[in-house]
């Protein structure tokens, strides 16, 4: 519901600001004052030619204003700015409209998502942004709806469910609008769903077409969707076994790009469900269109071409990462290309007309493939990497060498600026895999690195070594030469998206709260600002009344914020904020109060070795993915752990489901819940004793 309405905005109403049509989006490159769509233009280069803020005056950049948000969950959105009005989405799929020059809130909209739906969000209740078209603002919600709002007032115009809401689908990605159609995908592959992309009429939300990315149960027959022909002709033959029982995966949860030069949509397709190819498809077949870039007709959804990054995907190597369009001079010819740095660690340059591979080289450490064969377009895999005959220490692991964090491309320098992650992990085949629809289904056992794979005599020592080689990088990559030009190493992998500008600047936020500017050509740090709120989102820049601004959403979270603890981020993240900067800004943001951790939960209760073993098993099956980082409550410090009755009310009774902590009764019984409590208390005691020492 809309909480307030905007009046006039210095002679330009919010309704005028939201009036965007196809011609205006096609001409966005020549409109640097605005940031009209997710990647600024349809090419999604995340480059702005604005140069009022540049190398010579970056030292004068300071906060213009900050708008504090109402939640401490992860903030991943890219703001949209149109004619002085900014539209942002926040965690829990809320939408705000603001005066882009002052930060005055014009209106707010809350889709009133059921908090229990947060349990289906594999990677936090985030939202990556909105789209604006013809006086309307569009947002996808964590519970699978697509909503159209009035750009002037925030009033709801239409609301459609884009998924079967009885299944564990979510939406975290930003919609795109092309030729009067709102395009939206979904997420939830690990939970057990079947992926697709849908196109809705921007005026009334009527479904126009749908393309499924993986085939359904053959017994059900055709879907009556745009994908039917591709599955009948060739894609359906690439699947085996009872793959449909867990949906197959293939969710389109991030990249959707309109290639106007060829009138085609390019979409990035995600991982399989389960991850493990053996479990999913009897270890056979390419499993189209998993881990693929897929080209579709924007008017009908009809298949045009595809390029599969990882045939028979088995590691969570998605191809959902940002797809950037450009024209590059390669071997003396101007080539219209699509560029992607997907999870698997190779940088791909693909011919947009045909989908044929031009080049692919590693932009990060990887040990799963010898190379990408340029003749066939297929990887030459290291056989052991499929972990069928034993554990394999793989680099990168499923978190990827590059996740959703936006990269940027500067036509001025010819470089792509990638937030890179170096995160290894040991995979093993889960021979005792059990289906848990609605919870994580990987078919993979994550274990200590095998002896001999890294230094260390014990599993604990080998884990410690892995932690020492887990880090992040900001990498400037030459897509023509396929080589690194410069890089900056980070202590932690999970760093913010990038923005490149005509002022020879690259901006990036960091999880420790810093916002930093570098020279785009050399990677020299030129400026930084500390806001104490971790930054993951992609920055933008725009101009209002002749003044250039740089804006970024701050708020640490996402999958690593939920699942990974760090030595330097023990406190729960504070509420997020929109941060906006300008030359000579005079804005302020409150410093965070001193924080002291809640004591570890301690009890004199005694538990059997069998209870502790069962508790450890169930904790890592169900709890660790959400409660091992700073975002959600630390169970080892939870007062509920010291009260068996209260613990049962939460874990089995679901009394906190409105906060995302649903009942786990569909997957575990009361004795198993008690065993988890036993393990939590034993770990809390161990950690407390170590802290006292």
Cβ–Cβ < 8 Å for 424, 352: no
Q: Which segments of 462-523 are extended strands (E)?
A: 471-478, 483-490, 498-501, 505-509, 514-519
Question: Does the active-site annotation cover 316?
Answer: yes
Distance, CA of 451 to CA of 647 (rounded, Å) = 38
Residue 267 token pair: 């979409």
The enclosing H or E element of 427 equals strand 425-429
Distance, CA of 524 to CA of 517 (rounded, Å) = 8
The enclosing H or E element of 146 equals strand 145-150
Distance, CA of 554 to CA of 549 (rounded, Å) = 16
* Residue 283 Ramachandran class (φ > 0 left, ψ -120 to 50 alpha, else beta): left
Among 276, 282, 286, CA closest to 309: 286
The enclosing H or E element of 551 equals strand 547-554
* DSSP track, 185-245: --B-GGGS-B-EEEEEETTT--EEEEEESS---GGG---SSTTHHHHHHTGGGG--SSGGG
Residue 197 preceded by cis peptide, ω within 30: no
Bridge partner list, 507: 499, 517
Active-site residue identified among 316, 429, 430, 512: 316
Residue 452 token pair: 């001999």
Half-sphere exposure of 153 (CA within 13 A, CB side): 5
Among 636, 588, 594, 592, CA closest to 615: 636
SS3 at position 398:
coil
Tokens 């992650």 label which residue? 421
Distance, CA of 295 to CA of 291 (rounded, Å) = 13
Alpha-carbon distances, residue 200 vs 18, 162, 181, 269, 301 (angstroms): 18, 9, 5, 19, 11
Residue 150 token pair: 């009035």
To the nearest 10 degrees (0 to 180), the angle between helices 644-651 and 670-692 is 120
The enclosing H or E element of 23 equals helix 22-26
SS3 at position 117:
helix
Catalogue the active-site residues: 316
């Amino acid at each position: 519901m809309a909480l307030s309405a905007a009046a006039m905005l210095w002679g330009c109403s919010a309704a005028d600001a939201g009036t965007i049509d196809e011609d205006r989006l096609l001409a966005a490159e020549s409109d640097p004052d605005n940031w009209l769509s997710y990647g600024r233009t349809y090419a999604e280069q995340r480059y702005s030619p604005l140069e009022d803020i540049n190398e010579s005056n970056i030292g004068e950049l300071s906060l213009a204003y900050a708008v504090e948000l109402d939640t401490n969950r992860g903030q991943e959105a890219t703001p949209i700015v149109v004619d002085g009005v900014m539209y942002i989405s926040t965690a829990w799929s809320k939408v705000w409209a603001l005066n882009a020059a002052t930060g005055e809130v014009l209106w707010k909209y809350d889709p009133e998502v059921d908090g229990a739906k947060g349990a289906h969000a594999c990677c936090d209740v985030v939202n990556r942004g909105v789209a604006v078209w013809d006086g309307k603002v569009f947002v996808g919600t964590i519970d699978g709806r697509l909503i159209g709002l009035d750009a002037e007032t925030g009033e709801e115009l239409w609301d459609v469910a884009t998924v079967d809401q009885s299944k564990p689908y979510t939406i975290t990605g930003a919609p795109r609008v092309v030729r009067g159609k709102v395009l939206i995908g979904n997420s939830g592959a690990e939970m057990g769903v079947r992926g697709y992309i849908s196109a809705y009429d921007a005026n009334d939300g009527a479904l126009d077409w749908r393309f499924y990315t993986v085939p359904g149960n053959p017994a059900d027959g055709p879907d009556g969707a745009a994908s039917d022909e591709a599955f009948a002709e060739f894609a359906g033959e690439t699947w085996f076994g009872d793959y449909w029982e867990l949906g197959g995966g293939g969710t389109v949860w991030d990249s959707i790009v309109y290639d106007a030069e060829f009138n085609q949509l390019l979409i990035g397709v995600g991982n399989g469900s389960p991850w493990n190819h053996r479990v999913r498809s009897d270890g056979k077949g390419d499993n189209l269109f998993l881990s693929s870039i897929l080209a579709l007709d924007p008017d009908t959804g009809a298949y045009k071409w595809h390029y599969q990054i990882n045939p028979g995907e088995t590691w969570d190597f998605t191809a959902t990462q940002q797809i950037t369009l450009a024209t590059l001079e390669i071997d003396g010819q101007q080539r219209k290309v699509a560029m992607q740095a997907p999870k698997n660690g190779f940088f791909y340059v693909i011919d947009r007309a045909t989908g044929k591979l031009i080049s692919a080289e590693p932009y990060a450490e990887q040990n799963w493939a010898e190379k990408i064969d340029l003749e066939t377009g297929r990887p030459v895999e290291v056989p052991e990497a499929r972990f069928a005959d034993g554990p394999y220490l793989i680099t990168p692991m499923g978190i990827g060498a590059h996740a959703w964090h936006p990269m940027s491309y500067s036509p001025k320098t010819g470089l792509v600026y990638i937030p890179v992650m170096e995160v290894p992990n040991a995979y093993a085949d889960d021979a005792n895999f059990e289906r848990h629809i609605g919870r994580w289904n990987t078919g993979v056992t994550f274990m200590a690195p095998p002896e001999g794979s890294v230094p260390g005599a014990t599993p604990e020592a080998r884990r410690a070594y892995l932690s020492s080689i887990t880090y992040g990088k900001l990498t400037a990559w030459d897509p023509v030469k396929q080589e690194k030009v410069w890089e900056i190493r980070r202590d932690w992998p999970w760093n913010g998206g990038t923005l490149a500008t005509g002022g020879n600047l690259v901006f990036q936020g960091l999880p420790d709260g810093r916002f930093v500017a570098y020279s785009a050509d050399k990677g020299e740090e030129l400026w930084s600002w500390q806001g104490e709120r971790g930054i993951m989102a992609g920055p933008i820049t725009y101009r209002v009344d002749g003044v250039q601004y740089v804006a970024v959403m701050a708020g640490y979270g996402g999958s690593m914020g939920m699942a990974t603890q760090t030595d330097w981020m023990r406190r729960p993240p504070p509420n997020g904020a929109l941060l906006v900067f300008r030359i000579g800004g005079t804005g302020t943001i409150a410093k965070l109060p001193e924080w002291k951790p809640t004591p570890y939960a301690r009890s004199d209760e005694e538990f059997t070795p069998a209870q502790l073993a069962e508790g450890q098993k169930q904790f890592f099956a169900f709890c660790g993915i959400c409660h091992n980082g700073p975002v959600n409550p630390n169970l080892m410090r939870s007062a509920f752990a010291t009260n068996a009755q209260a613990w049962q009310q939460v874990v089995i009774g679901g009394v906190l489901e409105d906060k995302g902590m649903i009942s786990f009764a569909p997957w575990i019984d009361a004795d198993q819940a008690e065993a988890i409590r036993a393990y939590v208390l034993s770990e809390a005691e161990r950690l407390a004793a170590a802290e006292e020492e």
